[in-house]
Amino acid sequence: MELAACPSLWAYGAVWLSFLLLGFLRFSNSDVVLTPALLLYVVLLVLIEWLCHLYLPIALGILFLSSACWYVLGIVSPRKTLPVEAKVVFITGCDTGFGNVAAHKLDSMGFKVIATVLNLESPGAKKLKKICSDNLTIIQMDLTKQEDIKKAQQTTKLHTAGRGLWALVNNAGYCAHFGDAELTLMSTYKGCMDVNFFGTLELTQALLPFIRYAKGRIVTIGSPAGEHSFPYLAAYGSSKAALNRVMDIFRHELMPWGVKVSVILPASYKTGAHDNHIHWEIQHKKLLANLPTELLQEYGEEYITETQNKFLKFGDTACSDFSPVIDSIVDAILSENPKVKYYAGKNLWILYLISIYLPHSLSDNFCKSLFLKNKVLPRSLRKQKSNE
C-alpha cells in the first residue's frame, strides 16, 4: 500500500510545488497580502487534493488538481493596469451618485474627463467645477434629446483629436415608479426605455468611432434588476435588461476592433432621487391621476401607496459607500484584461446564488421575503378573502 501511494504522493507534491513556484513569481513584486479569501482558496485546494487522492486515478486527479490550482492563480493574481497618461474618459449622469464620484476620482487620477449633467447649475455640477482640475470638462446633456447627443459627439471629437476616446462610462439612468407591472403607466415604461436603453444606445453609437480608434473601453452601469425578475420594478428592470443584452452583443462584435466592454451590476445604493420625497410624491400623484378608474378600484389607493412607501423604506437600508462601484469602474477602464461583469456590492453573490441555482420554489420565497411584504392586499383580493 505504501509503495502504491508513493507515485501518487510524488505526483501531487509536484503539482503543489509548481503552484507555489508560480504563485511566488506572480506575487513577489505585488501588494497582494494573505486575505481570508486567499486562505479559503488554499483550504479548498487541499480538500480537492484529498478527494482526488481518494477517489480518482492518479492521472485524472493530477489533471483536476492542476486545473483548480491554475484557476485560483488566475482569480487572485494581481491585475495588470495600464497607464493613465493622455487618456480621455466620457461619463454620463454626473449630477449625483456614481457619476459624480467617478468623475472626481478619475480626474484626481489624471484622466481627461468629459462629464455630462442634466443641469449645469445643479449642486453636483457646481461641486465638480469647484473640486476638480482644469482637465475636467462639464457639458449639459439629456439622453432623450438627439441634439444634445450630437453636441456631446462634437465636444468629444474636439477633446480627443489624434488619440481617440479611451473609455465611455454609461452611468446615467432613470427610475420613476415602484409598483405592479399592471399599474405602471406606459409613459413610465417609455421614459425608462428612452433614457436607460435608447438614449444610452444612441450615445454609444455616436462615440464608438472615437472608442474604436483608441481601442478603448465601454463601461456600463447595469442593474441586477435587469437580470432578475424583481417585483415592482417592471419598467426599470426591463430597460436595464435590454441594456445588458445590447452591451453583451457589443462585447462580441467589438472584440476584433480591440474594444473591451464591461457591465457593472451594483447592489442597492443610495443614488439618484432616493432622498427626494417631493419627486416621489409627484410621481405617485401622476400615477393615481392617470390610472383607469376600474383598475384603481381593483387595487385600491391604499395598496398602491403602501407599495411605494415600502420601497422607499427599503431604500433607507441601501449602502451610501460607493467605493465598490467606483473601484469597479476604475478597474474596467484601466485593467489590461477587464472583467465582463463586475458584481459591486457586499453579499450580492448571495442574490445570484439563490436566484440562479436554487429551485424556483425556494428562489420565489426569497424574492417574496424581499419585495412582496405588503400588509394591505389589493382591494379586490381583500373582498374575495372576506367572502370565503
Residue 330 in any domain: the answer is: yes
Nearest Cα neighbor of 61 from 47, 74, 48, 73 is 48
Among 76, 103, 135, which residue terminates a domain?
Answer: 76
pLDDT for residue 275: 63
Same domain for 170 and 252, yes or no, is: yes
Same domain for 92 and 118, yes or no, is: yes
Domain that holds residue 176: 88-372
Does the annotation count 352 as an active-site position? no
Choose the catalytic residue: 41, 174, 236, 342: 236
Same domain for 199 and 322, yes or no, is: yes
Calculate helix-pair angle for 36-55, 2-27, nearest 10 degrees: 150
Question: Averaged over 236-248, what is the pLDDT?
Answer: 96
Question: Averaged over 288-297, what is the pLDDT?
Answer: 90
Same domain for 169 and 131, yes or no, is: yes
Cα separation, 368 vs 76, in Å, equals 35
More confident residue, 293 or 380: 293
Whole-number Cα distances in Å, 305 to 60, 276, 316: 61, 16, 17
- Domain of 216, CATH number, reads 3.40.50.720
Average pLDDT, the chain: 85
Same domain for 60 and 102, yes or no, is: no
Q: Burial code of 129-153, b = ≥16 C-beta within 10 A, e = fewer?
A: eeebeeebbbbbbbbeeeebbeebb
Among 31, 53, 76, which residue terminates a domain?
Answer: 76
Same domain for 93 and 67, yes or no, is: no
φ/ψ bin of 97: left (φ > 0), alpha (ψ from -120 to 50), beta (otherwise): left
Residue 206 in any domain: the answer is: yes
What confidence tens digit (pLDDT) does each residue in 349-369 have? Answer: 677 777 776 787 777 777 777
What confidence tens digit (pLDDT) does each residue in 52-74 have? Answer: 877 788 888 888 888 887 777 77
Cα separation, 240 vs 255, in Å, equals 23
Among 76, 103, 120, which residue terminates a domain?
Answer: 76
What confidence tens digit (pLDDT) does each residue in 130-153 have? Answer: 999 999 999 999 999 999 999 999
Farthest CA pair distance, the chain: 85
What is the chain's length? Answer: 388
What confidence tens digit (pLDDT) does each residue in 80-135 have? Answer: 889 999 899 999 999 999 999 999 999 999 999 999 999 999 999 999 999 999 99
Residue 180 in any domain: the answer is: yes
pLDDT for residue 66: 84
What confidence tens digit (pLDDT) does each residue in 5-23 have? Answer: 466 777 778 888 887 777 7
**Residue 4 pLDDT class (50, 70, 90 cuts):** very low
Residue 149 in any domain: the answer is: yes
Q: What angle do CA 351, 354, 360 make, to 5 degrees?
A: 130
- Specify the number of domains making up the chain: 2
Cα separation, 192 vs 367, in Å, equals 23
**Residue 78 pLDDT class (50, 70, 90 cuts):** low
Residue 81 in any domain: the answer is: no
Cα separation, 93 vs 172, in Å, equals 4
pLDDT for residue 26: 60
Residue 295 in any domain: the answer is: yes
Residue 380 in any domain: the answer is: no
Same domain for 227 and 363, yes or no, is: yes
pLDDT for residue 274: 62
Same domain for 63 and 98, yes or no, is: no
More confident residue, 356 or 343: 343
Least confident of 43-52, 68-77, 100-109, 172-181: 68-77
Residue 83 in any domain: the answer is: no
Same domain for 54 and 107, yes or no, is: no
Predicted confidence (pLDDT) at residue 29 exceeds the cutoff of 70:
no
Same domain for 230 and 331, yes or no, is: yes
More confident residue, 34 or 211: 211
pLDDT for residue 31: 43
Same domain for 48 and 191, yes or no, is: no
Same domain for 68 and 212, yes or no, is: no
Predicted confidence (pLDDT) at residue 256 exceeds the cutoff of 90:
yes
Predicted confidence (pLDDT) at residue 1 exceeds the cutoff of 70:
no
Cell of 268: 442597492
